[in-house]
Amino acid sequence: AFFIAFAVKVPMFPFHTWLPDAHVEAPTAGSVVLASILLKMGAYGFLRFSLPMLPEAVERFTPIVLALSLIAILYGAYMALAQSDFKKLIAYSSVSHMGFVTLGIFVLNTQGVEGALLQMLNHGITTGGLFLCVGLIYERTHSRMLADNGGLAKPMPRYATCLVILALSSLALPGTNSFIGEFLVLVGSFLYSKAIAAVAALGVILAAVYLLWMVQRVAFGVPTEKTARATDLNWCEMATVVPLIVLIFWIGVFPNPFLTPMHASEESNRCPGNGYPDTPRRMP
């Protein structure tokens, strides 16, 4: 019962079907709150309740959860590749990125859990910023279709710069926040099983494919009549996006202020009697 409740909230495959439609129907502010905060409640539930309270059940079901996490990573990436709707593409990328979070939690070692915690923060910053970008361009062109929003680099250079930075963060470019989180998750996965780490790494490659394809279409694609007349971001709009970009590079270059409290929290869960394993688990 705990697993199903938290899996729906994350959401994990195959409980993810509500998320793309929820993002499409929600206003920009709703999508930002959903991506930045609400999706993390399911992952927090796994960490706060499932691992300490039900350690034997967690160990028993770990292979199943890891398999579902890998499916979510690859499925979300493939579905993002197939989207023509800007917002749906970002929504399916959330399914893929949250797969890394659950993967890190259930490899049951320090690197994986710390990576999952950091990736929860990173996903909120980066994906929230991408949904802001979708909302900002929708206000100008009244369309979320990638084909209707091409060639924005010339009329909207500030917007295009912000979009490129957020996309590079989402694909985990070194020097950005997501690189630290996903790298820790992959290290934790490698300690558990080299095969699992290899499959998860494929998700990183696919993320680069669909995000760079999106950037190419939106920033450098064929301009339309509406995008040619679009006005660039004003200072109020820049004030909503720039703090996220600052956090992207801050965490990417100086992650210790964020990792240190996470390490202390993770260590407290490893105390005897808390149900958390004392040594990294390896796949038999």
pLDDT band at 17 (very low <50, low <70, confident <90, very high): confident
Domain segments of the chain: what residues? 1-268
pTM of the entire predicted model: 0.85
Q: Would you state the pLDDT for residue 149?
A: 84
Please compute the mean of the pLDDT values over residues 186-191 and round it to a whole number: 92
Torsion angles phi and psi, residue 38, rounded to 5? -65, -35
Query: Is residue 232 packed enough to be buried (19+ CB in 10 Å), middle (13-18) or exposed (0-12)?
Result: middle
Taking only the tens place, the pLDDT of each residue in 103-124 is 998 888 888 888 999 999 999 9
**In degrees rounded to 5, what are phi and psi of residue 85?**
-95, 120
Give the 3-state secondary structure of residue 26.
coil
Q: Determine the Cα–Cα distance for residues 71 and 86; give it in Å rounded to an integer.
A: 22
Mean pLDDT, range 181-200, rounded to an integer = 91
pLDDT digits (tens, 9 = 90+) for 34-46: 888 888 888 888 8
**Confidence label for 268 from pLDDT (cuts 50, 70 and 90):** low
